Structure 1
Amino acid sequence: MRTAIPRSCCSPAISPPSAPPAPTTPCCAAPAPTAWRHCDASPLLSLAIRGVAYDAVAKERFHIDGRKALRRLAAALDVAPDAFDIHSLPGEVSMAGEIVLRTSDLHLELTIGRLREGRELLYRRAGVTRDPAGPPNHYAAMRELIDPERLARRIRRDLELTAPVALPALMTA
């Protein structure tokens, strides 16, 4: 049974004509990091719950928002913008397709649908391994993309990737 699609936190409240106008500040006008994370992930969560099969507009929206979410995750993983490729594979009309982000040592794949419910993000190491079966797959739920920093820490831990070294701040006079 499907659950109701959550209303976006930034959608304006509908008020009767006699009521005073609603405030123009959205409900998530919090500090910048919280505001963009919550608002940008909301459409992806809605699409994951609703599904996009046989809906071309929703499928296009999933691919646009999914690419943005993977770019934010790549930034949280401290991958340089020129060090990764993102490919959108739309698939057939009955499927959502997938969005794939690849670096020299990382493979991320985002898709939605009944078969991947709760496991929409697949991630694994890329490159040459000694195991003929390849590196093992790891999964994360779509809701974990809301906090890309936290998901990046989990990916680093699961795949045993080295965390970026923080450079000391330069002081100027």
Structure 2
Amino acid sequence: MFDWNKSCSYDDAQKRRFHATARSRLKKLAAELHLPTGSYDIRSNRAGIAVSGEVTLHHDGAYIQVGQFALTSHHGILIRSCKGRRDYTGGRNHFLDLDKLDDIPALAAAVHAITGVGQVGQSEPSVRAA
């Protein structure tokens, strides 16, 4: 299990693992939500040495960003609605704990509840985080 709360600050190896794992989980989230190919981008901003940077899934109707925004609060997943992939401000911000990346079906349900994006509860097998 990945330690989402281990700081990436001044630890390049941890930052590399953080970004790779977050990208992988966001790909699984897109699959769990049944987002059509081409309706979203996943991008990574490593930022400076003292911070985690962020990994973003930007869909036509949802903006989901993962980062170590405040390690003391553990709130590292930002979810908000948006109007297209040029909308970087979107709707109201909602924050979830980073450990939600270990439960993709629950994260997908939260994204759907907040943004209305995607389909949840389908009969297809669900993608679980390793």
Give me the TM-score of the superposition, normalised by structure 1.
Answer: 0.61
Find the aligned partners of 2:72 and 2:34 in 1 and give their Cα distance.
27
2:95 matched residue in structure 1: 139
- Indicate how the Cα distance of structure 1 residues 83 and 96 shifts in structure 2: closer, same or farther if over 3 A, else same: same
Find the aligned partners of 1:135 and 1:96 in 2 and give their Cα distance.
24
Identity %: 24
Give me the TM-score of the superposition, normalised by structure 2.
Answer: 0.80
- Indicate how the Cα distance of structure 1 residues 113 and 162 shifts in structure 2: closer, same or farther if over 3 A, else same: closer
Deviation at 1:116, TM superposition (A): 6.8
* 8 Å Cα contact 1:88-1:99 kept in structure 2: yes
- Indicate how the Cα distance of structure 1 residues 116 and 85 shifts in structure 2: closer, same or farther if over 3 A, else same: farther
* 8 Å Cα contact 1:51-1:113 kept in structure 2: no
* 8 Å Cα contact 2:33-2:118 kept in structure 1: no
- Indicate how the Cα distance of structure 1 residues 85 and 161 shifts in structure 2: closer, same or farther if over 3 A, else same: closer
- Structure 1: give runs of 5+ residues left out of the alignment: 1-41, 168-173
- Structure 2: give runs of 5+ residues left out of the alignment: 124-130
Find the aligned partners of 2:73 and 2:121 in 1 and give their Cα distance.
35
What does the per-residue CA deviation read over 1:117-158, in whole Å, with 9 as the maximum and x for residues that have no partner? 321110111117xxxx84101111111111111211122112
* 8 Å Cα contact 2:76-2:97 kept in structure 1: yes
1:80 matched residue in structure 2: 36
- Indicate how the Cα distance of structure 1 residues 54 and 74 shifts in structure 2: closer, same or farther if over 3 A, else same: same
In terms of fraction of residues, the more strand-rich structure is 2
2:81 matched residue in structure 1: 125
Aligned length: 119
In terms of fraction of residues, the more helix-rich structure is 1
2:53 matched residue in structure 1: 97
Structure number with greater Rg is 1
Runs of 4 or more, structure 1, over 4 Å off, are 164-167
Q: Which has the higher contact order (CA 8 A, sep 6+)?
A: 2
What does the per-residue CA deviation read over 1:58-114, in whole Å, with 9 as the maximum and x for residues that have no partner? 111111111001111111111123321111001110000000111111111000153
